[in-house]
Amino acid sequence: MNTPVVGWDAGRRKVKIAPIARWTQADVNAYVAEHGVLVNPLLSDGYTSIGCAPCTRRTLEGEDARAGRWAGSGKTECGLHE
């Protein structure tokens, strides 16, 4: 994903800030471990990206982490971030 750390939403006339946009999965994992952050139990059940029930499936070994979102449709987002 190419989410900028700081961006401008012209339609809403708002600055958008995504402070962890450049974190790697290793950065996230380290933060979770260090701070005892609770994680969704579906992550350990093969769901590497979690959305709503009808449009999310487990990912297969070797697939991109977002492959389970909207599988077969070419989409990876529900519409909030499109």
74: in domain: no
61: in domain: no
Residue 51 has pLDDT above 90, yes or no: no
68: in domain: no
Report the pLDDT averaged over residues 46-66.
87
28: in domain: yes
Could you tell me what percent of the chain has a pLDDT over 90? 60
Number of domains into which the chain is organized? 1
Residue 54 has pLDDT above 70, yes or no: yes
Query: Measured between alpha carbons, how far apart are the two ends of the chain, in Å?
Result: 11
71: in domain: no
Concerning whether 55 is annotated as a catalytic residue, the answer is no
Determine the pLDDT at residue 73: 78
What are phi and psi for residue 17, nearest 5 degrees? -120, 125
Catalytic residue among 26, 58, 78, 79: 78
22: in domain: yes
Determine the pLDDT at residue 31: 98
Its domain, for residue 10, covers 6-55
| Mean pLDDT taken over the chain | 88
Burial pattern 56-69, b for ≥16 Cβ within 10 A else e, equals: bbebeeeeeebbbb
